[in-house]
Chain A
Amino acid sequence: MKQTTTKTSHQDQVEEWANFVRENPDKWKAQHTKFINAQIKMANEALQRIRKQKNGKEKIVELFSVKNKQLIASL
């Protein structure tokens, strides 16, 4: 029961935001850009911290399945 309520609420949010985009062509992009950029910056900053850890470089290589030797050397 609790799961159904949560899912419905989430679907409502998806629809409300989609309607906001449709009805506010001049407003949605600024909010959206902040949201997208914040996620990518946060994740990249976390990866930088991981890279500095002991065995951090190996973790990054494993996380992203990196096989490019030049790229690995540049980490």
Chain B
Amino acid sequence: MREIGDANILKEFCEKFCSIVDRHCKYIIVSGYLAIATGRSRATQDIDMIISKIARPAFVALHHDLVREGFNCVQGDKPEEIYDFYLAENTSIRYLYGNEFLPEMEVKLAKDLLDNIQIQTRVKIPLTNVDVWFGSVEMGIAFKEEYLKSEKDMEDARHLRIVFKEEINEQNINSLKKTIREVRLS
């Protein structure tokens, strides 16, 4: 998977992983990779994915499918245990391709109203040329400015604001920030 000419390693990894997840549940790619796929020039070692709150049997089927296609879960090889010890406890799990440690996909279950809103309003973003579902740009900006707030996140948000200048709606962002405060910060 790493030897295809000038293909972008992150894009290739992300599209392959997402195409498998897509057979089992709804998902979104959020946070740093949204900024990177839209041109932000910074490093990352993982891609963040939120999947709909599937039950244990559905996750077991998804995990087997991922393993069959060459992915390994860092936390273990028994999907029932991975589900019970990690996902059901709102702890993320990580998958890598083969035994190459970079990049990796960090996966967590949707845990609250905000995650569900993000999944419901997911979008494909032609600018990225990455054929996967992303959380919306406005949600990405709102999360980074209101919740995450690290220097790296604020720079990601600045990047998104400039690149999507004509498309973003400030009122929507403010409304999403209000929801973030109510759901995550109160």
A contact set with B: CB distance below 8 Å = 11, 14-15, 17-19, 21-22, 25, 28-30, 32-37, 39-41, 43-44, 47, 60, 63-71, 74-75
Q: Once the chains bind, are B39 and A19 in contact (CB under 8 Å)?
A: no
Q: Once the chains bind, are B158 and A47 in contact (CB under 8 Å)?
A: no
Q: For B99, give its contact among A41, A43, A63, A75 (CB under 8 Å).
A: A75
Can you give 10 A-B contacts (C-beta < 8 A)?
Answer: A14-B155, A14-B158, A15-B158, A18-B40, A18-B162, A21-B162, A33-B8, A43-B102, A44-B102, A68-B77
Q: Is B163 an interface residue (CB 8 A)?
A: yes
Q: Which residues of A contact B9 (CB under 8 A)?
A: 36-37, 40-41
Q: Once the chains bind, are B41 and A25 in contact (CB under 8 Å)?
A: no
A65–B94 alpha-carbon span in the complex (Å): 10
Q: Which residues of A contact B102 (CB under 8 A)?
A: 40, 43-44, 47
Q: For B10, give its contact among A28, A34, A40 (CB under 8 Å).
A: A40
Contact bitstring B123-166, A, C-beta under 8 A = 1, else 0? 00001010000000000000000000000000100110011010
**Range of interface residues on B (Cβ < 8 Å):** 20 to 34
List the 5 closest pairs (A to B, CB-CB), nearest first.
A21-B39, A18-B162, A33-B8, A18-B159, A74-B99
Q: Once the chains bind, are A71 and B158 in contact (CB under 8 Å)?
A: no
Q: Once the chains bind, are A11 and B72 in contact (CB under 8 Å)?
A: no
Q: Once the chains bind, are A69 and B77 in contact (CB under 8 Å)?
A: yes
Most chain B CB inside 10 Å of its own CB: which residue of A18, A22, A36? A18
Q: Once the chains bind, are B39 and A32 in contact (CB under 8 Å)?
A: yes
A interface: dominant SS:
helix
A41–B9 alpha-carbon span in the complex (Å): 9
Q: Once the chains bind, are B103 and A40 in contact (CB under 8 Å)?
A: yes
B contact set with A: CB distance below 8 Å = 2, 6-10, 36, 38-41, 43, 45, 72-77, 94, 99-103, 127, 129, 155, 158-159, 162-163, 165
**Given the known A-B contacts A11-B158, A74-B99, are A68 and B74 also in contact in the complex, defined by CB atoms under 8 Å?**
yes
Q: Smallest CB-CB separation from B161: which chain A residue?
A: A18
What 20 new A-B contacts, CB under 8 Å, besides A44-B101, A64-B74? Answer: A14-B155, A14-B158, A17-B159, A18-B39, A19-B162, A21-B38, A25-B127, A28-B39, A29-B8, A30-B6, A36-B10, A39-B43, A43-B45, A60-B101, A67-B76, A68-B72, A68-B75, A68-B76, A71-B99, A74-B99
